[in-house]
Amino acid sequence: MDADAFPTPEEPVESLTPTELKARIDAGEPVTILDARMESDFEEWRIDGETVEIANVPYYEFLDEELDESVLEQVPEGEPLVVLCAKGGASEYVASTLQIEGRDVVHLEEGMNGWARIYERHEVTDYDGPGTVYQYQRPSSGCLGYLLVSGEEAAVIDPLREFADRYRADVDDLGVDLVYAFDTHVHADHVSGLRTLDDDTTTGVMPAATEPRGVTYLDEVATAEDGDVFTVGDATIEAVYTPGHTSGMTAYLLGDSLLATGDGLFIESVARPDLEEGDEGAPEAARQLHDSLHERVLPLETEDVLIAGAHFSDAATPADDGTYTAPLAALVDRMDALTMEEDAFVDLVLSDMPPRPANYEDIIATNLGQQSVDDEEAFELELGPNNCAASQEGLTSD
C-alpha cells in the first residue's frame, strides 16, 4: 500500500505540530514516540533526545482487520504516545487504530517532513564584534547557518534554499537590508540558497577556489579569494581559505570575533575528507585538512575567536545561549584531533568514516549548477542526517 494513501481513520485523533513536539523535547519533558516508517528509514534518521523514548513498528503491521496482539506488545505507552511517519498520513491511521485499542495517542502533523521544516534562530551572545550574529538551526539534519546584522545591513552564511523566504522575512523584521549571501563550499547535504537569494540587492558570494570543480554560475555571482574582506555595516567578513573537507572550503571571519568554519571544524568533530575526492583521494584531503587547521585556524586561538560550524550532531553540547558555538581555546583543550601530528590525525579521521549523506551526489551536482531540481525535489533530496563530519570516536577527550 502507498504510505500516502491510507484509509480514513475510524476515529478522529488529536494531532501535535512539529514545533510543539520540539518545545516539549527542549523543555526536558518525557516524550514517547512510535515511529511507523519502514525500519530502514528509522535506522537512518529519527528523532532523538535525552528524554525521548522511541520505538519502530512499521505502518503495515496495523493494516490487518484483526490487529495482532504481538503488534500491540511492541507499542510503548505514552502520555500521550506520539505516532509519526514520513508525511502524516500513515501516522494518523495508526494513531486512530491504537486509540480504538484504548491507547492515549496523538499523531505528528506532516511527520518527518514537518520536522525537517523546523528552523530556529538564536542570538550568539558570546560574539563581541560589531553588530549581532544569529545562528540558524535545523534540528532534523543538524544544519547551521548564520546571519550577521550590523548597522542597516546583513549577510547570511551558508543559506538553505528551503528557507530563502525565511531569511528575507527576518531581515525585513529587523529593518535591515540583506547585502550578501555567502557559501563556505559546495555542500553535499543540502541544496544551497545562495543563487535563490542572489538578486539586485543581495550579492551571492562563492569561494573562488570552487572554480576547478566545474561550478557553472561563478560568472553570475561574486567570488571570495583568501584574504578578501567584505563590509557589512560596521562589521567585516574576511575569507579564510581552509581546504580539506573540500578543495574549495573557505571559512569566514565575522567581525574578527567568530569564524564560520563551514564543514572544516565543528564543536564536536572535524570534517570528513572523502565527499569530493572519494576513498582514494581522502588521505591527501585529510592532510590538507590538518594543514588548514594548524596553519589557518589554530593561530586564531590567541584572539579568543568563537568557532561556529555548519553542522551539529547529537554529540554536540550547546553553549549557554543555546547555540552550537565554542571558543577555539576550549576546542583545543578537549579535542585531541587538534593537537595530533599529521600522520596520527589522518589515520584517526579515516579510521571510522560514517555513511555518506543521503543523495549527496545529486545534491553536489545541484549545488554545482550541473543539474536542476524544483523546490519540492530539493527538499526531498536533503531529508535525512547530514553526516558531513568524521566520526567523533577518538577525536575528543573524555
| Amino acid 355: pLDDT | 84
User: pTM of whole model > 0.85?
Assistant: yes
| Amino acid 391: pLDDT | 66
> What is the pLDDT averaged over residues 95-114?
94
Q: What is the dihedral sign for C-alpha 98, 100, 102, 107?
A: positive
Percentage, residues of the chain above pLDDT 70: 96
CA torsion angle 110 38 272 278 (round to 10): -120
Nearest to 266 by CA among 303, 309, 306, 227: 309
Q: Are 86 and 3 in contact (CB under 8 A)?
A: yes
Task: Specify the DSSP element, H or E, that contains 67.
Answer: none
Lowest mean pLDDT among 14-23, 65-74, 136-145, 285-294: 65-74
CA torsion angle 328 332 337 342 (round to 10): 90
Cell reading at 75: 507499542
Written as one letter, the residue type at 144 is: L
Q: Rg of the chain over CA atoms, in angstroms?
A: 22
Higher pLDDT: 63 or 52? It is 52
Tens digits of residue pLDDT in 120-176 = 999 999 999 999 999 999 999 999 999 999 999 999 999 999 999 999 999 999 999
pLDDT band at 5 (very low <50, low <70, confident <90, very high): low
Which residues of the chain does CATH 3.60.15.10 include? 120-381
CA atoms within 13 A on the CB side of 61: 20
Class of domain 120-381: alpha beta
Q: Which residue do the cell numbers 480514513 mark?
A: 8
> What is the pLDDT averaged over residues 321-340?
95
| Amino acid 6: pLDDT | 64
Q: CA 277, CA 356: separation in Å to the nearest integer? A: 13
Q: Are 195 and 218 in contact (CB under 8 A)?
A: no
β 31-35/15-16 pair status: unpaired
Q: What is the overall mean pLDDT for the chain?
A: 93
Q: CA 163, CA 382: separation in Å to the nearest integer? A: 13
Higher pLDDT: 98 or 386? It is 98
Q: Supply the CATH classification number for the domain 15-115.
A: 3.40.250.10
Q: Are 240 and 253 in contact (CB under 8 A)?
A: yes
| Amino acid 389: pLDDT | 82
β 132-138/52-56 pair status: unpaired
Please tell me whether residue 121 adopts helix, strand or coil conformation: strand
| Amino acid 3: pLDDT | 47
* CA-to-CA separations, 322 to 75, 135, 136, 161, 252, in angstroms, rounded: 33, 9, 11, 24, 21
CA atoms within 13 A on the CB side of 108: 28
| Amino acid 99: pLDDT | 93
Which residues of the chain does CATH 3.40.250.10 include? 15-115
Please tell me whether residue 34 adopts helix, strand or coil conformation: strand
| Amino acid 362: pLDDT | 95
Higher pLDDT: 348 or 301? It is 348
pLDDT band at 394 (very low <50, low <70, confident <90, very high): very low
For residue 7, pLDDT beyond 90: no
| Amino acid 1: pLDDT | 45
For residue 284, pLDDT beyond 60: yes
Please tell me whether residue 213 adopts helix, strand or coil conformation: helix
> What is the pLDDT averaged over residues 270-294?
94
> What is the pLDDT averaged over residues 337-343?
95
Q: CA 226, CA 238: separation in Å to the nearest integer? A: 8
β 235-241/250-254 pair status: antiparallel
Tens digits of residue pLDDT in 20-62 = 999 999 999 999 999 999 999 999 899 998 999 999 999 999 8
Tens digits of residue pLDDT in 259-277 = 999 999 999 999 999 989 8
